[in-house]
Amino acid sequence: EALGPLRGWRALVTSGPTHEPIDPVRYIANRSSGKQGHAIAAALARLGAAVTLVSGPTQEPVPAGVSIVQVESALDMLAACQDALPVDVAVCAAAVADWRVKATASQKLKKEGGSLPALELAENPDILATLSRAGRNRPALVVGFAAETEKVVAHARAKLARKGCDWIVANDVSPSSGTFGGTNNTVHLLRGDTLEDWPPLSKEEVAQRLAMAIAEHLVGTG
């Protein structure tokens, strides 16, 4: 492994959901399994990269040869990513919650007492956009994901521009696709203006192909 094409290169991968606390026992979360992000971290490590995997709570085992940083919330995930810099490539596969609860309660909210709690939300930082605009610390290659239920490629093109990343892996997560929690993924790789449609693949195969494309890009330009 240490002899792979990415030996000497540093990678950061985000994976999993985030948990946004409501009170000490409750949180807001989403259905991300972490399978795709963990598979990418594993594939980059197999090619020899020094990989830091910043992950929200998942059931996935920690891939061999990867440094794991376990986090809960989006704010913690951003801080862990910034701590991992500088890296040569960042792949943001986490399903970061768009919002957090503005004022987390320090004690468990009680249903007794009549009034319903109102959860005021605050916007979470966009980790992908932050890494893409990290100035001197910007990774040479920043890869994001776009999970869409319709107009997958059009939305991915807009996302690439909006986030300032270099590549977008766009995938269909409509309920009929079985992507969330499933083993398969049908993706399109958008590199700047260049679009590649990949056939239906397992998440491991998507990870393997993406890691190889990253190695070609970095080693070819580095």
Nearest in space to 110 (alpha carbons), one of 23, 191, 219:
23
**Dihedral (CA of 55, 60, 61, 65) sign:** negative
Nearest in space to 127 (alpha carbons), one of 110, 144, 149:
144
Token pair listed for 209: 């192909």
Token pair listed for 193: 């203006």
**Dihedral (CA of 54, 150, 204, 61) sign:** positive
**Dihedral (CA of 19, 74, 213, 170) sign:** positive
User: For residues 6 and 92, which CB has a smaller minimum distance to ligand C5P in the complex?
Assistant: 92
Query: 17 among the known binding-site residues?
Result: no
- Taking contact as CB under 6 A, which single stretch among the options 47-55, 88-96, 180-188, 209-217 is the one that binds ligand C5P? 88-96
The yes-or-no answer on residue 30 being catalytic is: yes
Query: 145 among the known binding-site residues?
Result: yes
Smallest gap from Cβ 221 to ligand C5P, in A, equals 22
Token pair listed for 98: 């768009």
Smallest gap from Cβ 108 to ligand C5P, in A, equals 27
Query: 110 among the known binding-site residues?
Result: no
Asked if 92 is part of the footprint of ligand C5P (rule: CB under 6 A), the reply reads yes
What phi, psi does 205 have (nearest 5°)?
-70, -40
Ranges within 93-152 binding ligand C5P (CB under 6 A) = 93-94, 96, 124, 126-128, 144-146
Contact partners, residue 34, CB within 8 Å, separation at least 6: 15, 16, 17, 55, 56, 58, 59, 60
Query: 126 among the known binding-site residues?
Result: yes
Smallest gap from Cβ 30 to ligand C5P, in A, equals 10
User: For residues 24 and 149, which CB has a smaller minimum distance to ligand C5P in the complex?
Assistant: 149
Residues that bind ligand C5P (CB under 6 A): 14, 74, 92-94, 96, 124, 126-128, 144-146, 159
Catalytic residues: 30
Binding residues: 98, 108, 125-128, 145, 159, 163
Q: Could you tell me which residues are annotated as the binding site for CTP?
A: 98, 108, 125-128, 145, 159, 163
